[in-house]
Amino acid sequence: MVRVIAIASYPLAQTFVDYMATQGVLLTVKTNDDATEIWLEDETHLDQVLNELNSFLQNPQQHQYRAASWQSGNTTAKLDYERFSYLQVIRSKAGPLTLLVMILAVLVYMLMQLVGDYSVMRWLAWPQHNGQYLQAWRWVSHALLHFSLLHISFNLVWWWYLGGPLEKQLGSAKLFVLAVVSAFFSGWVQSLFSGILFGGLSGVVYALIGYVWLTGERRPMLGLSLPRGIMAFSLLWLVAGYFDLFGLRLANAAHSAGLLLGLLMAFWDTRQRSN
């Protein structure tokens, strides 16, 4: 057997397999966590399959392909052909820790809408006095506090976009350490400027920006990367926050501290791996 192609869509793969069956060529569909693979039983048909595959991918909506599933007795591919699951995309690009933090942040945000910001902050905000210092969760739980729909949406999109691949490539333990350390460090720095009245994942997000970008630059074989244009935009956004150009209340100290920490951790990790 020989693997012909790996594609993301199972219905698309099945449609092509059904079409080739009407041409007398036997193909097999195999699925894994990342993609759907098409395998050819008889390698003597490989050139024919590749030519047909090229035509198919250019216009898979042609009637001859869609009708093939009916001819072969497999209607699943046709009926599900254009179905798309955003939830499946989110899960496919994120590990369990990435998803857990997203769920916790959403639940905390919903609770804040129900009982008020101050009531939730009494339990999750950065410790304010000696009596709260031993409540260990406070040193990181402030990262789950978000004060508007735009605030939580922006942070969770970046957390998923950066944290998901990092967890997939380097493991949940690495993401956990980076998130906890950056939440603590960025929170501590921000508390020096604003007291306890802050919250959000942005300090952690900036740590991820620094870590993913520098790791991709120094050790691209690890599978992490961040386009330089996005890195430049993040720096401009950071500078804009200090000058209050957009009238937004940004935790600038937390952003700067998170970015610096992420860069330092990436430098150390890539240095260690190169020894």
What are the catalytic residues? Answer: 202, 255
Amino acid (1-letter code) at residue 172: S
CB count, 10 Å around CB of 216? 20
C-alpha span between 97 and 103 (Å, rounded): 10
Rounded Cα gap, residues 219 and 197, in angstroms:
38
- The one-letter amino acid code at 163 reads G
Cα-atom radius of gyration of the chain, to the nearest Å? 24
Q: Using the structure block, give the residue that is written with the tokens 């919250």.
A: 199
Tokens of 81: 């052909």
Query: How many CA atoms lie less than 13 Å away from 155 in the CB half-sphere?
Result: 28
In angstroms, the CA 269 to CA 209 distance is: 15
Hunting for tokens 């410790």 — which residue is that?
127
CB 199 within 8 A of CB 143: yes
Tokens of 80: 């599900």
Largest Cα separation within the chain, whole Å, is 77
- Amino acid (one-letter) located at 14: Q
